[in-house]
Structure 1
Amino acid sequence: MSLSLGQPVPDFTAQATGDATITLSDLKGKQVVVYFYPKASTPGCTTEGGDFRDLKQAFDAADTLILGVSRDGIRAQENFKAKQGFNFELISDKDEAVCRLFEVIKLKKLYGKEHLGIERSTFLIDKGGRLAREWRKVKVKGHVDEVLEAAQALHEGK
C-alpha cells in the first residue's frame, strides 16, 4: 500500500521522547510534519533537526506539529533531543513500522557496501489526516524553509 497525495495517512502509534506515545489519529485538527532522518547525532541529521528547531515558532503559527523519526532507540533519541535543544518530539522506530508505512527504507550504498537505511524524507499531513505534500531524497540545505512555506500555504488555505 503506498501513500498518495490527498489520501488519508494510515494511523500509527509510536514511542517518542518525553515519555510520549504518539498516535497520528490523535493529532487530527493540526497539521503534522513527519520527517525521517537516517541517524541521530550525525552531521546532516543534526543540521536538519536544528533547522526545524530554529523555525518551530513559525511552524507553531501555522498550526503545524513537527515529529522527527529514525530507527534509533529511545535513549539515543532522548540524548539527541537534549544535546541539540530540540523543541519537538522524536520518534524511536526500531521496528521500522512507521518507516515502512511511509516507504522510506531504501537500499543505500556506503563505502561500496549495500545496506538498508532511511532515505531522508519529509511528509506534510493536513488537519484531516491526509497527505498534503511529500519530499523524498531530501537535501538538507534550504529544505526546512521549503517545508515551512508549504505548511504556511496549507494553513492559509492556498
Structure 2
Amino acid sequence: MAVELDQPVADFQAQATSGQTVSLSDLKGRQVVLYFYPKDSTPGCTTEGQGFRDQHEAFKAANTEIFGVSRDGLKSHENFKCKQAFPFELISDKDEALCQLFDVIKLKKLYGKEYMGVDRSTFLIDKDGVLRQQWRGVKVPGHVDAVLEQARALNNA
C-alpha cells in the first residue's frame, strides 16, 4: 500500500552508500527527507543533489536527515556521491520496493517513446515516522529551498 499524508510510513530497510542499511525505525526522533530521482549523474539529478548538498548543514540544524533514492546500483551511487561530494547517503532501490511504497513509478515519455520511470518526488517524514509533506512531479529550481522551509517549520512545530 502506498504512503498517505498524515499517516505513518511503513518501516523499511534499504541498502545505501557507505555500506549502510537504512531503516526508518532507526531514524525515529529525526525528520527524514527522501528524494527520489531518475538516474545518477544526469543533469537534473546532479543539480538537485547539489542543492541538497549545499543546504545540508541547514537541514541538519532542522534535525533532518537527507537520503537520495533511485533504482541505480550501489557502485553507481558511490561514484555519484563521491564525484559530487554529497554529505548524505544514496539508497539503491533496484527491486523498486521503496519506489512502490511511495508510488513514484510513472509512465513517462521521451522522444515519443513511453517507458516506466521514476517521477522526481520528495517526501518529508516527521520524527515519529509520519508522512507530513510530499512533492510529486518536482521541478528542480527552487525545490530544495521549499523542502528546507517545510523541514524547519515542522521541526519548530
TM-score (norm 2): 0.99
Q: Which amino acid in structure 2 is aligned with residue 68 of structure 1?
A: G
Q: Is contact 2:2-2:100 (8 Å) kept?
A: no
- Residues in 2 aligned to 1:33 and 1:2: alpha-carbon distance in whole angstroms: 17
TM-aligned CA deviation for residue 5 of structure 1: 1.2
- Residues in 2 aligned to 1:19 and 1:33: alpha-carbon distance in whole angstroms: 20
Which runs of 5 or more residues in structure 2 are unaligned? none
**Structural RMSD (CA):** 0.5
- Residues in 1 aligned to 2:117 and 2:10: alpha-carbon distance in whole angstroms: 22
- Residues in 1 aligned to 2:24 and 2:100: alpha-carbon distance in whole angstroms: 15
Structure 1 residue 137 corresponds to structure 2 residue 137: yes
Match of 2:49 in 1: 49
- Residues in 1 aligned to 2:89 and 2:11: alpha-carbon distance in whole angstroms: 18
- Residues in 2 aligned to 1:141 and 1:127: alpha-carbon distance in whole angstroms: 27
Match of 1:72 in 2: 72
- Residues in 1 aligned to 2:11 and 2:125: alpha-carbon distance in whole angstroms: 12
Q: Aligned residues: percent identity? A: 68
- Residues in 1 aligned to 2:27 and 2:8: alpha-carbon distance in whole angstroms: 13
- Residues in 2 aligned to 1:119 and 1:19: alpha-carbon distance in whole angstroms: 26
- Residues in 1 aligned to 2:10 and 2:121: alpha-carbon distance in whole angstroms: 17
Cα deviation digits, residues 94-114 of structure 1 (max 9, x gap): 010010000000010111111
Q: How many residues align?
A: 157
Cα deviation digits, residues 37-60 of structure 1 (max 9, x gap): 000000000000000000000000
TM-aligned CA deviation for residue 3 of structure 1: 1.7
Which runs of 5 or more residues in structure 1 are unaligned? none
The 5 A counterparts of 1:64-143 are 64-143=64-143
| Partner SS, residue 90 of structure 2 | strand
Q: Which amino acid in structure 2 is aligned with residue 43 of structure 1?
A: P
